[in-house]
Copies of this chain bind each other. A is one copy, B any other.
Amino acid sequence: MGIFGKLSFKDQAFKLRESAILDATTAVLGSKGYDLMTMDDVAGAVGISKPSLYKHFKSKEDLVGEALIRLIDGALDYLAQIDPTLGPKGKLAALLEWALRVRLEGGLPFLPSTSAHVREMLMRNLKYVTRVLKLNGQLEKLVQSAQKLGEFDASMPSDVILFSYYARTCDPAVEYLQRFSKMSNDQVVQHMLRVAFDGFNAPTPALPG
């Protein structure tokens, strides 16, 4: 039995096309953003007509919601797959690294730093909100564990670290470095991780021993 289970060939084709639509949506979202993305863009990228697109997704909001849900599911899958022997800080670093690499390859962060308008739209999407809360719960626990273990600064509210962590996944510095510096993608990732975890300041020399 294949990955589609007991679906008929027709349903399999339908699912495949749906997946292709979501791929195209993610790509267009990444390059133009929500407001400038048109349904014509998506239909054109997939190679179908606009009415066919509307047979799969009932509106632009619905389409974008599904694409973003898939991104969050990807983050949840990645998180579940990380070496369980890593500590919370190590896991957060691995997930951030993954998110940065996805972006450098033209993808989207799992939690786009979208405008108030888009945020509002997504908050009305119950399915999306549910997934976001699931991911958020896991990340919140990791942050708090890292603080308790002394890996993260425990004098700061965990909110501050958690929201800043989200922000680092969509840090615009990534695009600027990719565009204006001569660095490889690997170097960009390493530097972004460094800045996120250690900040701008020079490292204080560690205690001897």
Contact = CB atoms under 8 A, between A and B. Distances in A.
A172 B161 contact: no
Contact of A151 (B157, B180, B201, B205): B201
Query: Interface on chain A toward B: helix, strand, loop, or mixed SS?
Result: helix
A166 B200 CA distance: 12
A163 B156 contact: no
Contact of A153 (B157, B159, B201): B201
A78 interface: no
Interface in A150-172: 150-154, 156-157, 159-161, 163-167, 170-172
Task: Count this chain's copies in the assembly.
Answer: 2
Contacts of A206: 204-205
Q: Indicate the member of A163, A165, A205, A206 with the most B CB atoms within 10 Å.
A: A163
Interface string A134-163: 000000000000110011111011011101
> Which residue, of A167, A183, A194, has the highest number of chain B Cβ atoms within 10 A?
A167
Contact of A203 (B157, B197, B204, B208): B204
Interface of A: 31-33, 35-36, 89, 113, 115-117, 146-147, 150-154, 156-157, 159-161, 163-167, 170-173, 176-177, 180-181, 183, 191-192, 194-208
